[in-house]
Amino acid sequence: MADHGQASFWTQANALLRKNLTYQRKHIWTNVRLVLVPLFLCLLLLSIQLLLEAVMSKVSDMAKCGSKDAPNGDYCPIPNPPLLPPMLHIPEPESRAVKAGFFPYSDLPDLSCRKTKTCPLTMLLTGKNQSLGKALSGTMFGGSFAVNTSDLWPSLADNVLGTTLGAGMDSFRDPGIDSGLAIYSIQPQCNANSTWPLSLGKTRTEVKCVQGLCLWRNTSTEVNEEIFKGSWRGNTERMTNEIAAAYDLLSTDGKNLDVNIWYNATYYNSRGPQNKPLVRVPRLISLVSSVYLKFLKGPGTKILFEFVKEVPKNSTKSNSDIASLFGPLFFTWVVLLLFPVILTSLVYEKQERLRIIMKMHGLGDGPYWLISYAYFLTISVLYILSLVSFGSVIGLNYFRLNSYSVQFVFYFIYLNLQIAIAFLVSTMFSKVKTVTVVAYIMVFGTGLLGNFLFAQLLDSPSFPDKWIIVLELFPGFSLFRGLYEFAQAAFHGNGMKWGDLSESGMDKVFYIMLVEWFVTLTVAYVVDQVLTSGKSPCLFTKKATTSLPDPSVQSQSSDNILIDMEKADVTHEREKVEVMRIEGSTWHAIVCDNLKKVYPGRDGNPPKIAVRGMYLDVPSGECFGMLGPNGAGKTSFINMVSSALKKDQYRN
């Protein structure tokens, strides 16, 4: 008799591993496509980068720096940067603040000025000392526009200039001047059609007069409310009523200047972190400082803000690191492609009843979970290692510059979390086709949401950090945040190191994923036990000692089975068969003499006895039936007997 003990852990591991390998072999082309996708994306990113560098190099060779055909002055050396006038960023004429139903203030211009495009621009003042505010607002703007061409910059600094365009990326050029649009001179009063020509180096432009209003508000809350309602999103009429700027004088008095400034940062917040433009705040600061000094020392005191000038620079090369620019989206998809593979494998076992079959062959829940988890983790780690290795070999800075140890820890934690989520989600599905569609929707949806929604929130300085952490509780956004920070670190040329984790917020991502990994894995195991065994979630881990059979009791039960087999009818049937064997009788249709059926043990499991010593004689023309519990061997006996008969004998 073979040993009936349970197969060893390693025997079960070997059997389950061979089962998994057989499944993967049946889906070999799916696996090949899975491996080729990240390699293809890496090659695609490298090809785009090389193509872009070749095009830029060819265009640069066609035109020399300094010529009118130069392709892009940003990359050319600028030994003598031009002087640029400091300007305010003011609203478009049709967007400036006017009276409206959602504004309770009567000191704003009438709506009719928008038809003639003569609406003044509005600045707001608030603070603790209203009389001081009134005094400062009276001298905020200069008089009529006047320029001395022989002494251009000091004379130009006496004027308060503005433009409707935001600042550029640097001060080597100003879009408000190079665009050909008019520059505005902000004055207390304007004559009709007041315009003046202005020459700034080789640039010819014109200056138009615009009236400036400085209006007092009692509190900073009123200022915030008016600025908010000035946006079309902030009022029910969907009307744009922009305020140019605002000052909170706080505790400003005759001895100190204490001021907060509101300014328009719409253009600053609308671009990515690599393309943050300048903001036109310096002129706002100099304006209030100059007005305050005039208040203290008299109108003859001036602090002239004459010009803005960049530092000279050498020629620079364009940063064409395409992998760092598009890496967060592409590599989010690459890592998430493992999720459908793991999930469909688990659901396939449920659909084909493989899990139940493995249980019937002695595979326990503990070994199944441990072995399956280790198998998926090994496959995932090898997949990521091949991705990072291939990306590094072909020279992608996204992988080369970031610390490999930081990358390994990040990917390792997320891969464990992804496997745990796959185990949890697999309990909700029973069909492979359904779960495949759902899984791939999650993959591509997560990448798109991360790139076009979550990335914008990360770039916005006004979006609270606590809500970023809340969004990162979704595992897909945690993955995207990590890949996004890797891309930012690589794009700026330094790469992510261990010392950069807290500054970039990666430490919080690590903590979130670690906690989610533990919680998700625990919940997945509990749910699996409840669904497969039907036990209570609170009691599934408790095993009653009375439910485990004692070896002595099991042995006694086996003896009882042998004793039951020696009943009188059983003994009589065996004696009849033995007599028939001796006499050689041939008039019985069926004669079974100690018929046995034993399935050999496999994978370390004991042999399975289907039929144990069957004695039976059935005379010709007689019908008989078989009664017994499940597993007694009825079907096995019928199959054994019917296989010994010819096909035409079934009809007799």
Residue recorded with tokens 């200069």: 142
Question: What are the φ and ψ backbone dihedral angles of 492, each rounded to 5 degrees?
Answer: -85, 0
pLDDT given at position 432? 92
pLDDT given at position 514? 96
- The whole-number average pLDDT for the span 304-321 is 79
Highest mean pLDDT among 110-114, 152-156, 506-510: 506-510
Residue % of the chain over a pLDDT of 90: 33
User: Given a cut of 60, is residue 2 above it in pLDDT?
Assistant: no
pLDDT given at position 404? 95
Q: Cα(220)–Cα(213) distance, rounded to whole angstroms?
A: 18
DSSP string, 38-83: HHHHHHHHHHHHHHHHHHHHHHHHHS-TTSTT-S-GGGS-BSSPPP
Please give the structure tokens belonging to residue 449. 């949401």
Read off the pLDDT band of 262 (50, 70, 90).
very high
User: Given a cut of 60, is residue 186 above it in pLDDT?
Assistant: yes
User: Given a cut of 50, is residue 72 above it in pLDDT?
Assistant: no
User: Given a cut of 90, is residue 51 above it in pLDDT?
Assistant: no
pLDDT digits (tens, 9 = 90+) for 437-488: 999 999 999 999 999 999 989 988 778 889 999 999 999 999 999 999 999 8
Q: Cα(177)–Cα(547) distance, rounded to whole angstroms?
A: 88
User: Given a cut of 70, is residue 328 above it in pLDDT?
Assistant: yes
User: Given a cut of 80, is residue 560 above it in pLDDT?
Assistant: no
Name the DSSP class of 142.
-
Per the CB < 8 A criterion, the answer to whether 137 and 216 are in contact is yes
pLDDT given at position 147? 83
User: Given a cut of 70, is residue 185 above it in pLDDT?
Assistant: yes
pLDDT given at position 562? 46
Q: Which helix (H) or strand (E) holds 265?
A: none
User: Given a cut of 80, is residue 19 above it in pLDDT?
Assistant: no
- The whole-number average pLDDT for the span 257-268 is 85
pLDDT digits (tens, 9 = 90+) for 266-286: 766 554 455 678 889 999 999
Q: Cα(368)–Cα(22) distance, rounded to whole angstroms?
A: 16
Q: Cα(245)–Cα(241) distance, rounded to whole angstroms?
A: 12
User: Given a cut of 90, is residue 606 above it in pLDDT?
Assistant: no
pLDDT given at position 613? 84
The SS3 of residue 211 is strand
- The whole-number average pLDDT for the span 485-500 is 87
Contacts of residue 445, defined as CB under 8 A and 6 or more positions apart, other chains included, come to none
- The whole-number average pLDDT for the span 231-256 is 90
pLDDT given at position 646? 62
pLDDT given at position 640? 84
Q: Among 186-200, 236-250, 379-393, where is mean pLDDT lowest? A: 186-200
All structural domains of the chain with their residue ranges: 13-43+320-533, 80-297, 566-646
Read off the pLDDT band of 49 (50, 70, 90).
confident
Please give the structure tokens belonging to residue 521. 């894995």
pLDDT given at position 169? 83
Q: Cα(97)–Cα(94) distance, rounded to whole angstroms?
A: 9
Across the chain, what does the average pLDDT equal? 82
Question: What are the φ and ψ backbone dihedral angles of 186, each rounded to 5 degrees?
Answer: -90, 120
**Which pTM was predicted?**
0.62
Considering only residues 596 and 418, tell me which one the structure prediction assigns the higher pLDDT: 418
Considering only residues 254 and 339, tell me which one the structure prediction assigns the higher pLDDT: 339
pLDDT given at position 60? 58
pLDDT given at position 604? 64
pLDDT digits (tens, 9 = 90+) for 152-174: 888 888 889 999 998 888 888 88
pLDDT given at position 551? 43
pLDDT digits (tens, 9 = 90+) for 331-380: 999 999 999 999 998 998 888 887 777 777 667 777 788 888 988 998 89
User: Given a cut of 50, is residue 643 above it in pLDDT?
Assistant: yes
Contacts of residue 403, defined as CB under 8 A and 6 or more positions apart, other chains included, come to 495, 496, 497, 498
pLDDT given at position 59? 60
Read off the pLDDT band of 555 (50, 70, 90).
very low
User: Given a cut of 80, is residue 316 above it in pLDDT?
Assistant: no
Using CA of residue 307, residue 312, residue 317, residue 321, what is the dihedral sign? negative
What is the b/e burial string over 68-84, where b = at least 16 CB atoms within 10 angstroms of the residue's CB?
eeebeeeebebeebbbb
pLDDT given at position 261? 95
Task: List the one residue out of 530, 480, 524 whose CA is nearest residue 506.
Answer: 480
- The whole-number average pLDDT for the span 213-238 is 91
Rounded alpha-carbon distances, angstroms, from residue 109 to 98, 183, 241, 242, 282? 5, 22, 11, 12, 27
Read off the pLDDT band of 549 (50, 70, 90).
very low
Highest mean pLDDT among 42-56, 122-136, 193-207, 521-535: 122-136
